[in-house]
Amino acid sequence: MKNKFSDKTIIVTGGARGIGHGIASAFAEAGAHVIICSRSAPEAFAPDIAERISHISLDIRAPEAAQQLVDFAIEETGRLDCLINNAGGGPPVASAGASPRLTESVIKLNLLAPIYLSQAAYNTMRAKNINGSIVNISSVSATRSSPGSVAYGAAKAGLLNVTTSLAMEWAPDVRVNAVIVGLVETDASQDHYGGKKGMEYLASQLPMQRMGRPSDIAKACLFLADPDSEYVSGACLEVFGGGEPPSFLRITSDASKLGS
């Protein structure tokens, strides 16, 4: 894969840390010029790839930020080959008490921003006669119930529909795909999942006996963005190591023990 993207420009939103940082690093290692955006300064990249990564400070929830980001990519490299809509997230909150402001913010970040960015990227790619691609980073929250994160789950589910709809509407000019991400270990994971012991327990309950890594998601993005994957569009690729064990297995097991 090294140097396979040497003449390509890739935008990775939220590329400053976590999964986005891993995706940006993988594309830079493959030779691409990577444009990342975030509201804060990015974590350091490896010295051998840092010169191929450009950063712009933007809040992509603002509709005008989409065109600003794409314009920055064109100013830096003169082209745009792939957009990775990675930025996302949302704090857990009881649904009955979620404020309209929080709900709107989560929807803007996880659904509206990717739509605006995809529009800006598509129009630029077509203006430059580039048959590029868009990769949307979704979540298992899109495909199962998400109590405590309703707006986030709904937005990520909507993003899957955006993916399949745009793949049909924009073919054959621009391919659009999604990655459905499971539990991934990042620097922020320990605080979220109860520290080292919590992480170890969580990993032991998963089919692959480990959480995902940013590099796992990055490899999926490399595949989907690869021009050789020219017939892959509208795909929603699950990268979750076999999935989350369904709770009914534990419930039925516990119920059977009660009757013995």
User: In angstroms, how far apart are the furthest CA atoms of the chain?
Assistant: 71
What pLDDT, on a 0 to 100 scale, did the predictor assign at position 238? 97
The Cα 27–Cα 43 span in angstroms is 16
pLDDT (0 to 100) of residue 186:
85
Q: Chunked in runs of 10, what are the mean pLDDT values of the chain (260 residues)?
A: 88 96 98 96 96 97 98 98 97 95 98 98 98 97 94 98 98 98 84 78 88 95 97 97 82 74
CA distance 8 to 19: 20
pTM score, whole prediction = 0.94
Q: How far apart are CA 92 and CA 69, in angstroms?
A: 29
DSSP 92: -
Cα–Cα distance for residue pair 160/167, rounded to 1 Å = 11
What pLDDT, on the 0 to 100 scale, is given for residue 260?
Answer: 57
- Tell me if residue 152 is catalytic: yes
Q: What pLDDT, on the 0 to 100 scale, is given for residue 259? A: 65
Enumerate domains of the chain plus CATH numbers: 9-258 (3.40.50.720)
Residues 6 or more apart whose CB falls under 8 angstroms from that of 87 comprise 13, 14, 20, 37, 38, 60, 109, 113
Catalytic residue among 116, 152, 193, 201: 152
Distances 62 to 30, 71, 222 between C-alpha atoms, Å: 31, 15, 28
